[in-house]
A and B are shown apart, each in its own frame.
Chain A
């Protein structure tokens, strides 16, 4: 029977290629969606997720909050250190060369983010330089900057003198020791310089980051911080880094539900396509199936040929799609690591995909099998 399945699988190569392509794309999307989903729902209880908390505006996550909140947050039991960020979008020479400019108080930045590494000399240089900047290695390479070089950064944030071009001096390169090959494009400047220079929004920040004494206390400490500002304006929303990333997505909508809906739509479309192709193919070959029955092959064998062909199509296309998805996820991982720290295709997703391949193989073959069940052998073979 496998010979028949295999020989039929290989026939009509153009149609088979297009069928397989649709399955490949469906499972490529499935793999990517599952990786995003895993990235968003990654356990908040892992150490990486709970070692640090982020506090943002409860109503609009990126909206400003008073910098004075930092002192009150630092008093919360369980908080080891607090830092804060004021952020703006920057670009070099050309608006398309864009990156994130993050302003932060230097000392607390390194306390809360101990994985940030800057060579001692460069670090000392930055600490002394009011308009100094640290940049990530990728940014340094991309623009070919040199240490000590003074560069103009194009922004949309006006300075007090009306200019939107911020001049900074490249004092050093900051690397993240927890990421072997970070793709981040960021520039760090001093919060004081940022705050004193900008035309509006003085004394506000976009985000607080807290380092915890005990990772297990993430829940109670988050609650305690938010309770501090229950009667303040604005109120805050505190959570582990990954949860905050997820909340950012959640502002767009229920991302889990969107992913599930997209996956269902993709697979339903795929099911219709494969089902229609198999039905058409079976109809074309009615006389061949009738012949098998005339020769004495039972309905089970004929069903097996159709089912086997459908399963083979879904498995070959599905596995190829998942391999492409895996390669794509591996290539994108470094790029999205800050938003989706656990952007990966898990063993569970792979197992789920194989179950789905088998399921769709079976479901797609049902209609042709029913059609063959109703087939009259004598009619299908033609009459004299």
Chain B
């Protein structure tokens, strides 16, 4: 990949969570979704997070991605304590450091594949031609350069997710957060996506944290952690 440069410095802690607690109010009740959670993810890791629905996986991903803030505790990513940032500062931080891959792709239907991929680059100072060049490089990496002008409705689910991945990596983010990236795909398309993520991790050194229900998908990661009732563990709850 020419335009999307990837760092390849491995084995340095990139994500550090210390004593992260997240409380939600549901009516009069307060629910503790994350319980004094600690997590260290080294640079270049490919971590799968598994756990039953409601275990707190997505809340953890939202906190890692700066979409939510912890009630208490520290979230330090690439040396930056993001839990202290204001909402607008967090927006800027997300644009520079996080690439999101969603289960439902979340492509804008009115934009072509290339325009969808180039969307995050609108927040940079790159010129139009440069944005286009980088978007095409990302699309080439995911094998969809010949679908650049197609709208999402003209693509298969697997192709849409590839566009979603291209959009996530086009800014060369520090970390890729994937929320059930194969959850809406059949096995074949899902395997292709997992292979693409593995390639990004192995060949390009991308740090990836992936939430999944699927043990087959988790098996593609370097390691798997299990979340249960707001607590992280090495083994699934019996």
Contacts and interface: CB of A to CB of B under 8 A. Distances in A.
> Is B truly associated with A?
yes
Nearest to A3: B115
Contacts of A378: 58, 62, 67-68
Interface stretch (B104-112, B139-147, B194-202): B104-112
Interface of A: 1, 3-4, 7-8, 10-11, 287-288, 290-299, 377-378, 381-384
Contact of A381 (B106, B109, B119, B183): B106
Nearest to B93: A296
A384 B58 contact: yes
**Which secondary structure dominates chain A's binding surface?**
helix
B109 A294 contact: no
Given A296-B91, A296-B92, A296-B95, A291 B120 contact: no
B110 A382 contact: no
A213 B122 CA distance: 72
Contacts of A290: 106
A3 B65 CA distance: 27
Contacts of B62: 378
Closest 9 CB pairs of A and B: A296-B95, A7-B110, A296-B94, A383-B58, A291-B106, A384-B180, A378-B62, A384-B58, A295-B120
A165 to B, nearest CB: 70
B48 interface: no
25 contacts: A4-B110, A4-B111, A7-B111, A7-B115, A290-B106, A292-B119, A294-B100, A295-B120, A295-B167, A296-B91, A296-B92, A296-B93, A297-B123, A298-B88, A298-B92, A299-B87, A299-B88, A378-B68, A381-B67, A382-B104, A383-B58, A384-B58, A384-B103, A384-B180, A384-B213
Given A8-B110, A381-B106, A294 B123 contact: no
Nearest to B167: A295
Given A7-B108, A295-B123, 4 more contacts: A288-B108, A297-B122, A384-B53, A384-B183
Nearest to B104: A382
B67 A294 contact: yes
A296 B87 CA distance: 10
A56 to B, nearest CB: 63
A292 B53 CA distance: 26
Nearest to B211: A384
Contacts of B110: 4, 7-8, 10-11
Nearest to A10: B110
Contacts of A11: 109-110
Given A8-B110, A11-B109, A288-B108, A295 B100 contact: yes
Nearest to B97: A296
Contacts of B180: 384
B224 to A, nearest CB: 16
B74 interface: no
A299 B103 CA distance: 24
B74 to A, nearest CB: 20
A307 B167 CA distance: 26
Contacts of A291: 102, 106, 108
Given A378-B68, A384-B57, A384-B58, A295 B95 contact: yes
B185 to A, nearest CB: 14
A11 B115 CA distance: 16
Contacts of A1: 122
A297 B91 contact: yes
Contacts of B111: 3-4, 7
A1 B213 CA distance: 37
B153 to A, nearest CB: 11
Nearest to B99: A295
Given A7-B110, A382-B104, A296 B65 contact: no
Contacts of B120: 295-296
A10 B110 CA distance: 8
B206 to A, nearest CB: 17
B160 interface: no
B67 A384 contact: no
A296 B93 CA distance: 7
Contacts of B36: none
A296 B96 contact: yes
Contacts of A298: 88, 91-92
A295 B90 CA distance: 11
A212 to B, nearest CB: 66
Given A7-B110, A10-B110, A296-B96, A382 B103 contact: yes
Contacts of B102: 291, 381-382
A294 B57 CA distance: 17
B172 interface: no
B45 interface: no
B155 to A, nearest CB: 17
B202 to A, nearest CB: 25
A297 B111 CA distance: 16
Residue of A10, A287, A297 with highest tally of chain B CB at under 10 A: A297
A380 B202 CA distance: 32
Interface in B116-153: 119-120, 122-123
A381 B62 CA distance: 11
Nearest to A292: B119
Contacts of B96: 296
A384 B67 CA distance: 15
Contacts of B68: 378
A299 B90 CA distance: 12
Contacts of A295: 94-95, 100, 119-120, 123, 167
